[in-house]
Structure 1
Amino acid sequence: LVFFLLLLAMGVMLMIIYLYIFPKLNHRITQLKSILTQSQTQVKSLLEGTNYIFFILGKDLSLLQFNRATANYAADTFGQSLNLGDNLLHFIPEEEQEAFLSLIQKTLSGERCFFDLKLKEKYRGTVWYFVQFLPVYTADSAQVEAISVSVVDITVRKKSETKVKLQNIELRTANQKLADMIKEKDLLMGVVAHDIRSPLNRIRSLVDLLQDSGSLNEKQQEYITLINKVADEGSKLIYNLLEINRLEQKDYELELSIIDLSSFVKEVVNFQQKIADDKFIQIVLQNELPSNFTFRTDLQALRRILENLLSNAIKFSYNHSKIYISLMEDANKLIIQIRDQGQGISVEDQKKLFQKFNRLSSRPTGGESSTGLGLSIVKSLVEKMQGEILVNSQLGQGAEFIVTFPTNNQKLALTA
């Protein structure tokens, strides 16, 4: 009875498996086959639609599969049609077969191989391809049974890289030439400045001798005054040229010291006031700094900045006008403002205001000379001192120059 019951139970289980489980398994297997077929179709469609060359080689180098791009390339390049089973070695030039077989052996041993291939083609000339050899393993991943090969045309990229390399070479050559020219310019600047300054000094000496003779009439005295003026302008130009050349040197260093800023600015203003007196111009100093305000700076550089800005304001201001210079500290910044009541600066002139040798459309009101270097020197010095310079101006409404320097490191400098 027990044995009969066991047989009956087994029969029922088999009946259940046959009637219910097998159909579900068959349905799932059918679904998987359909998905696999769709995936294979999609992959094949993708490979057929791409311009990239793709093919699969057997271990004996026979073609197991290839796409349309591969067939087209063989027809265009070798004038042959490809067939499954063709040996790829027949298409490789004899002198390159040894290197090709070496790559094949590496791939069959499980390595991935990538390299750039340079070819000489009949119609396109020199072309470049990126070639990739990948091992294809058996279902159990135990061994390599084939090699997939993909080839991408990278000629455009290579030509771009070559162009960039050539441009870099040209750029380095141009930079070297520029460096040589700058060096030559610096040497020439020193020689020319010395050779011109010496005759100017001799002219001054001769003029002094003439004046000391005491036998000059009014017309001759006028000529002497004119000669002195021309010599002074020449000396100033040479000084500015040497100064701008010095500022452009990489080894330029500031000579820092701590100064009483209020006293220093007052001294500069008093000196410039003597020049302004010739045009009946008053320079007004508005000092809003705390008493005994000290500032760590390059004394001569700051003097040059203030003198150039005040000198410019005097040149381009009308007689009987005023120039205001203001000193204040705000948000860890020293602010120096110089404002005149002169002709103002046009928008176009403001764009080139700090460039070397640029002359403005406005001219000095008293016929004074201008080298076109003063504001360029000012900007270079301000930037060397980690400051900023701005200009606010409209034609006919004067000009305002605002120079700012950081003061947040001043207390540290004083205690150092």
Structure 2
Amino acid sequence: MAERFAVPEAIESVTGNDAETEATILIVDDSATSRRIASEILKNYNVTEAESGEDALIKLEKIEPDLVLMDLVMPGMSGFETCATILRQSKFRDLPVIIVSSKNMEQDIWKGLETGAVDYIIKPYSPLEMVARVRAALRLRRTIINLRQLNELKNSFLGMASHDLRNPVSVIYGYSDFLLKNLDNASIPKDEFLKVIFKSSQFMLELLDDLLDISKIEAGKLILDRQEADFVALLRENVATNTILATNKNISVELKADGDIPPISLDRLKIEQVLNNLISNAIKYTNPGTEVSIRTFMEAGEIITVVRDQGPGIPAEEASKIFEPFEKGSARATANEKSTGLGLAIARKIVEGHGGRIFVESQVGSGSTFGFTLPV
């Protein structure tokens, strides 16, 4: 029976947090003893072993590891060849590979790093050194992935924002150009043209404000000025403001608020932004001559607020991503009101910043119910 490798007790205190130890590590070495030692040192991670470069490539596709420990001298494909083959694949471009070898010549270390490995560990190594280098490589991987996601988000924002801004800018340019060329033509309804220009300008300002909000929030700069406040009073004020918009569309707004809701700590302006988004959206998508109903109540130590519209409803495949930036869905506002596609994403971040959650229940043809919770 193989002798168990003794791992220093100090390893237990430096293996990292829960998210880190959930990482999967692929150990590639033709020596069963070397694999066993490395596996024992890294036993707090999800470890898979491969006995050759060819075996590693097969297992790589099955487990998609977060890190690879690669021996250099193996039958068949060498560690250099295996490392290069792995990193040539686009889906593994951010996969850290650490060379682990007894070859300690300068040219071997240079070649390993030049091939794309992020580190080079020389055998024999100490368990503490192995764990420290593995942790560093995993942190580097998370950083690279986060930066790549942020860059993709930035590009998405720029592309969608420029698309959404292009139409109102074109309208403003076209209408103002026509007016300038026909200033003396009394038959042209200039007031109607100016209303169109005003609405387009208003939409652009709303989009720019939302872009600034979502950019700050995504950058981790959501700052909440929390003070104790009467949530029901805040809700009533917001409903009163939006009722004016509803009346213009012949829509009634009904509010029911339980009497046992206590004052809570919240950012008044931010929660008002959430309420305004949900209520104005309900009015925007509700059919004229019907009703928007709002209810707030206590349940399990939370204030739950729900806003129900009588609009077209949201398909299930769209409801699952409706709180993502620029997700507008296929439903159209009943009076052709415009949407920036950012309001619900901002509302979600604000609610989550308060320790609550936001949700939607909807069925095509039967309207939608949006709601959120706030802990007491």
Shared fold (TM-score, shorter chain, > 0.5): yes
Give the equivalent residue in structure 1 for 2:33: 130
In 2, are the aligned partners of 1:382 and 1:389 still within 8 Å (CA)?
Answer: yes
Equivalent residue letter for 1:161: L
Q: As a proportion of its length, which structure holds more helix?
A: 1
- Residue equivalent to 2:69: 161
Equivalent residues in 2 for 1:134-145, closer than 5 Å: none
Offset at 1:154?
7.5
- The CA deviation at 1:179 is 2.9
Q: For residue 259 of structure 2, give the secondary structure of its aligned residue in structure 1.
A: coil
Give the letter for the 2:297 counterpart. Answer: M
1:338 offset after TM fit, Å?
0.6
Could you tell me how far 1:130 is from its partner in structure 2?
3.4
2:10 equivalent in structure 1: none
What is the distance in 1 between the residues matched to 2:369 and 2:226?
27
Question: How far does the alpha carbon of each residue in 1:110-137 deviate from its partner, in whole angstroms, 9 at most, with x for none?
Answer: xx9xxxxxxxxxxxxx954638xxxxxx
1:317 partner letter: T
Q: How does 1:7-406 map to 2 (within 5 A)?
A: 128=31, 130=33, 155-156=51-52, 161-162=69-70, 165-166=96-97, 169=118, 172=140, 175-176=143-144, 179=147, 182=150, 185=154, 219-290=189-260, 293-406=262-375
Aligned match of 1:18? none
Rounded Cα–Cα distance in structure 2 between residues aligned with 1:340 and 1:371: 19
Give the C-alpha shift of residue 300 in structure 1.
1.2
Q: Which AA in structure 2 matches 1:166?
A: V
1:392–1:362: structure 2 CA closer, same or farther, 3 Å change rule?
same
TM superposition shift of 1:218: 5.9
Contact 1:129 1:154 in 2 (8 A): no
Change (3 A) 1:232 1:270: same
Aligned residues of 1:316 and 1:343 also touching (Cα < 8 A): yes
| Counterparts in 2 of 1:183 and 1:320: CA distance versus 1, 3 Å | same
* Deviations 1:74-107 (CA, angstroms, capped at 9, x unpaired): xxxxxxxxxxxxxxxxxxxxxxxxxxxxxxxxxx
Residue 305 of structure 2 aligns to a residue whose secondary structure is strand
TM-score (norm 1): 0.52
- Contiguous gaps of at least 5 residues in structure 1: 1-45, 47-51, 53-111, 113-125, 132-152, 408-416
- CA shift, 1:176, in A, is 3.9
1:395 maps to a residue whose letter is V
How big is the shift at 1:254? 1.2
Give the aligned partner of residue 118 of structure 1: none
Deviations 1:387-409 (A, max 9, x none): 012211111111111211111xx
Shift of 1:331: 2.0
Q: Which has the larger radius of gyration?
A: 1
Ranked by relative contact order (alpha carbons within 8 Å, sequence separation 6 or more), the top structure is 2
Cα deviation, 1:50-71, whole Å, max 9, x if unaligned, reads xx9xxxxxxxxxxxxxxxxxxx
Secondary structure of 2:97's match? helix
Q: 3-state DSSP class of the match of 2:300?
A: coil
SS in 2 for 1:319: coil
Letter in 1 for 2:289: H
- Work out the CA distance in 1 between the residues paired with 2:50 and 2:361: 55
C-alpha displacement of 1:180: 7.9
Contact 2:256 2:294 in 1 (8 A): yes
The RMSD of aligned alpha carbons is 4.2
1:163-191 deviations in whole A, cap 9, x for unaligned?
664289498378448538848959x98xx
Contact 2:309 2:367 in 1 (8 A): yes
- CA distance change for structure 1 residues 154 and 245 in 2, over 3 Å: closer, same or farther? closer
Q: TM-score, normalised by structure 2?
A: 0.57
How far apart, in 1, do the equivalents of 2:372 and 2:305 lie? 5
Count of residue pairs the alignment pairs up: 253
Checking the alignment, whether the CA contact within 8 Å between 2:284 and 2:335 is kept in structure 1 is yes
Q: Identity of paired residues, percent?
A: 27
Amino acid aligned to 2:301: N
- TM-aligned CA distance change 1:165 to 1:347, over 3 Å: closer
Letter in 2 for 1:130: T
Contact 2:96/2:141 (8 A) holds in 1: no
Runs of 5+ in structure 2 lacking a partner? 6-28, 35-48, 57-67, 71-82, 84-94, 99-116, 119-136
